[in-house]
Amino acid sequence: MKSQILFFALLSIALCAQNPLFLNETYTTGLVNIQKSSDIFYWLFESRSNPSTDPLVIWLTGGPGCSSELALFTENGPFSVNDNLTLENNAYSWNNQANLVFVDQPVGTGFSFAGKGELVTNEDEVGEDFYQFILGFLEQNPQFIGRPLFITGESYAGHYIPAIGAELVKQNNPKINLQGLAIGNGLVNREVQDPTYGEYAYKNKLISAFKYYFVVKPALAICSSLTTIKAPMILSNIFCNIGLEAILGSGQTPKFNIYDIRKPCIGSLCYNMTNVDNFLARNDVKSALGVSGRTWQECSNTVHTALTKDQNVNLAQKVAYVLESGIKVLAYSGDQDFICNYMGGIAWTNAMEWTQQKAYQQAQFQDYQVNGQSAGQIKGAGNFQFLRVYQAGHMVPMDQPAVALHLINQFISS
């Protein structure tokens, strides 16, 4: 009887595997049940250094509704996809010194499934679902109970990460050893970030002085004011769109890549993700991942629509709550990104109210060096830092992989 109990217990524990299909990286995948019938998919890669002691780093892509496999294959994962749908090793993968987990959340994102009526509509629900995910993940991977944990991500994860961090702090579960949050080019507080679109566009010669002062600046100022007073989004969006269209144009394809102003916009995400789409559509790949019968998509419109009203919510106070608990936070921004530009990053971090707000506002930027080269500017106070990364767009690990690996390794080891 005891042997039968042990056998069934082992079935619920995720087992690490190696597969030539995935270049023999040691990995685990799994589905964690959330709510009644929903689940969240994850893909864990063991550290290439010391998997039994290295920290656990979780990555969340934004959207809302975009799959974290996008980052896995194009940014900070162990490999990228070639044109012939084979994989190529990434020497700058974030699992070089960490156990790295890519999570498809909220429910309904990527390979995850959302049951009827179970889509999240606000960040409190995001945090609650993710807490349940962490508990299920630790049940399947008990070796990580109590291991130092860092939650990272980019873009709309500027909403997800503060909410998740705040929920984990509130729960204070001894199994979960949260040590830090890292937010890349995050949308945290639209009220102060939206007006910087005009300033950023003008500074980078994307619009003329006339268009900036007489169209973009006043339109975005009204947009920000309406967001502040929580006016109906249908009203605030009128002025937000006037300002943005004056910069981007009125067609479906913007005048430039909104994630990297140095490049043209190609495809719905301004990048060609066809190789990733085709690779994750392969039956042998889905079988190896344990998701046979499911269809992967880059971004879910359904998930995005469910969170429509959430987009104007200010998440900075949840960042402050996490900071006041003693958890460290890093916000970093590639300076070639338009849509979540570094000026907006400076704006929301300066506006955030916390006990060291004044010290942070008065702090001066210092040169940030990687391998003896100037790679950005950094400033901070207490357990909070903001880093501007030079010559990187929205996806810092894609554009500056060595810098991105350095910043995350420094963050998780300091």
- What is the secondary structure of 216-258 as a DSSP string? IHHHHHHHHHHHHTT--HHHHHHHHHHHHHHHH-SSSS-SS-T
What would you report as the CA-atom Rg of the chain, rounded to the nearest whole angstrom? Answer: 21
Cα distances (angstroms) measured from residue 15 to each of 28, 60, 141, 142: 6, 22, 8, 11
The 10 Å Cβ neighbour count of residue 197 is 28
Say if strands 177-184 and 328-334 run parallel, antiparallel, or are unpaired: parallel
Q: Which of 11, 49, 9, 7 is nearest to 30 (CA)?
A: 11
Task: Give the helix/strand (H/E) hosting 342.
Answer: helix 342-351
Q: Which of 176, 174, 184, 40 is nearest to 102 (CA)?
A: 40
What is the distance between the alpha carbons of residues 183 and 181, in angstroms, rounded to a whole number? 7
What is the distance between the alpha carbons of residues 337 and 260, in angstroms, rounded to a whole number? 5
Q: What are phi and psi of 88, to 5 degrees?
A: -125, 135
CB 186 within 8 A of CB 160: no
- Which of the residues are catalytic? 155, 337, 394
Read off the tokens for 147.
């291991």
Read off the tokens for 219.
């339109």
Cα angle 230, 123, 170 (rounded to 5 degrees) comes to 120
